Chain A
Amino acid sequence: DAGITQSPRHKVTETGTPVTLRCHQTENHRYMYWYRQDPGHGLRLIHYSYGVKDTDKGEVSDGYSVSRSKTEDFLLTLESATSSQTSVYFCAISEGGGQPQHFGDGTRLSIL
Chain B
Amino acid sequence: KNEVEQSPQNLTAQEGEFITINCSYSVGISALHWLQQHPGGGIVSLFMLSSGKKKHGRLIATINIQEKHSSLHITASHPRDSAVYICAVRNRETSGSRLTFGEGTQLTVNP
CB within 8 Å of B: which residues of A? 31, 33, 40-45, 48, 50, 56, 58, 88, 90, 92, 94, 96-103, 105-106
Q: Which of A40, A44, A56, A96 makes the CB contact (< 8 A) with B101?
A: A44
CB within 8 Å of A: which residues of B? 2, 4, 30-31, 33, 35, 41-45, 48, 86, 88, 90, 95-104
B33 near A43: Cβ-Cβ < 8 Å? no
C-alpha spacing A103/B101, complex, angstroms: 14
Given contacts A40-B103, A41-B103, A43-B86, are A94 and B97 in contact (CB under 8 A)?
A: yes
C-alpha spacing A41/B100, complex, angstroms: 11
Which residues from A are CB-within-8-Å of B35? 103
Overall SS of chain B's interface: strand
B97 near A100: Cβ-Cβ < 8 Å? no
A42 near B97: Cβ-Cβ < 8 Å? no
Residue of A nearest to B95 (CB): A56
26 interchain pairs (CB within 8 A)? A31-B96, A31-B97, A42-B2, A42-B4, A42-B88, A43-B86, A43-B99, A45-B99, A48-B97, A48-B98, A50-B97, A90-B43, A92-B43, A97-B97, A98-B90, A98-B97, A99-B97, A100-B33, A100-B45, A100-B48, A102-B45, A103-B44, A103-B45, A105-B41, A106-B41, A106-B42
Shortest B22–chain A CB gap in Å is: 15
Shortest B26–chain A CB gap in Å is: 14
Beyond A42-B100, A44-B101, A88-B41, list 7 extra A-B contacts (CB 8 Å). Answer: A42-B4, A92-B43, A94-B97, A97-B97, A100-B45, A100-B48, A105-B42
